[in-house]
Amino acid sequence: MSSRYLAVDLGAESGRVILGTLDNGRLSLEELHRFPNQPVRLPTGFYWDTLRLWHEIQHGLAVAGRDRKTSVSGIGVDTWGVDIAILGADGALIDNPRHYRDSRNAGVPEKLFETVPKADVFAHSGIQFMQINSLYQWYAMKLAGSPALASAKTLFFMPDLFNYFLTGEKRAEVTIASTSQFYDPARRDWARGMLSRLSLDPNILAPLIAAGDRLGSILSHVADATGLAPGTPVYVTTGHDTAAAVAAVPAEPGDDWCYISSGTWSLMGVEREAPVINEASLAMNYTNEVGVAGRIRLLKNIAGLWVLQECRREWARQGREFSYEELAEMASKAAPFQALLNPDAFLDPGHMPERIAAYCERTGQAKLTDEGSICRAVLEGLALRYRQVLVDLEGLTGRAIRTIHIVGGGSKNALLNQFVADATGRRVLAGPAEATAAGNVLTQALGAGEVSGLHEMRAIVRASFEVTGFQPRPGLGWEEAYRRFTAF
């Protein structure tokens, strides 16, 4: 007998509602509704279009319920990390959630460290330092004297907000909470003492709930709007999209592999039983996030395909439209290693080709003059950055990594996958592209008792999706390129 689950998967560029069918140890996924996730710039800041996203979610659920008359065993929501939402005493959303690239965050970490030193923040959270983190967003609101914060009754993360819209229940799912930099992965609780030192009220944080737990049932007006059966369960799946993707890495049991969840961001790391919070991980700026079954994801955030996406947007704005397939073909024909780009130098949006040109000039490298050369340099830079992180991970864990699993949308970029194998000298296994949706569905099935644990989840993924292997090719100049890359 098959069972069906709906996965709501919201990424930084688009959202989807996906129907997952679990049947005899195999999982199939069908996209029911896809919609853009377009932030909005207003005089007061850079925001997510939150109510539009909620409208689109309901539309996707209605495709299953009203249009197809599908009976589903559960609904689960995952989103990007770190961004927060504020509810008032009446349960209403009182401040539209800001985009993590909002300029309000600029300079906030340094101000916060004046009260709680950087080393103390890391000791309490084990999270890498990025000004987009939830901690700095919250502190920025305090510094600005935010009226919404003054009236706040509940602080949510984005999947928790949509779970609340679905059920009326106020809970904070652990995998998304662990991205915040105010969750303590060693104590498995909010870092209340640190928050109190910062005059941030921990009492507005919702009670924690583990991935896979049943949250409640859809509200009656949601059932009416979507045609889904009253009482349809909602599970707190892996609320952080990366946690969902890592849960669906098709790895065999063992510890000689790492993962790259490849999309707008690249999240590269390993799984551990316990967090790695020490002087070395602090110095390397690594992060300890929680995954399914309490596993710790020791990882590094890398700018990922964001740089290429921004170039593509800028070229389109100038009237030159390219598909990602066309860009990859142009990159494959360009000369190698014309310039070496560190993707993490390009976190801000806008005018990306011009910013790449300025970077090349500043670092004394050749000017990139055409789209193919820029795209190749972006992909080569990503592969070299992955090698750098691989070296760090092996040093932090004391274990050799022999296989790199690449999952997510970026796993479809064969040129990048080959570059990763060549740059690192490791076997690369690419796929599934829909790892986030698969992890979302299988975590719901775990909560429903249909799946026994993480090993079975990954066995189902291996049985259900194809992966493509890439072997490293000797020579080709990658060693010299890496030496130059690490010298910047």
> pLDDT in tens for each of the 488 residues of the chain?
699 999 999 998 899 999 999 999 999 999 999 999 999 999 999 999 999 999 999 999 999 999 999 999 999 999 999 999 999 999 999 999 999 999 999 999 999 999 999 999 999 999 999 999 999 999 999 999 999 999 999 999 999 999 999 999 999 999 999 999 999 999 999 999 999 999 999 999 999 999 999 999 999 999 999 999 999 999 999 999 999 999 999 999 988 999 999 998 999 999 999 999 999 999 999 999 999 999 999 999 999 999 999 999 999 999 999 999 999 999 999 999 999 999 999 988 889 999 999 999 999 999 898 999 999 999 999 999 999 999 999 999 999 999 999 999 999 999 999 999 999 999 999 999 999 999 999 999 999 999 999 999 999 999 999 999 999 999 899 999 999 999 87
Pick 3-235's CATH classification: 3.30.420.40, 2.40.30.10, 3.40.50.10860, 3.50.7.10. Answer: 3.30.420.40
What is the predicted pLDDT for the residue at 347? Answer: 85
What's the distance, CA 251 to chain centroid? 19
Which residues on neighbouring strands pair with residue 272, listed in sequence order? 296
What is the predicted pLDDT for the residue at 168? Answer: 98
CB 442 within 8 A of CB 250: no
User: Is 241 noted as a catalytic residue in this protein?
Assistant: yes
Residue span(s) of the chain under CATH 3.30.420.40 come to 3-235, 250-431+452-488
Q: What is the number of H-type helices and E-type strands within the chain?
A: 19, 22
Q: How far is CA 180 from CA 80, 125, 138, 409, 469, in A?
A: 12, 8, 10, 24, 34
Domain 250-431+452-488 has CATH 3.30.420.40: yes
Nearest to 339 by CA among 388, 315, 312, 374: 374
The total number of residues written for the chain in this structure: 488
What is the predicted pLDDT for the residue at 188? Answer: 95
**What are the helix (H) ranges across 152-273?**
158-167, 174-177, 192-197, 220-226, 241-247
Task: Choose the catalytic residue: 83, 102, 184, 241.
Answer: 241
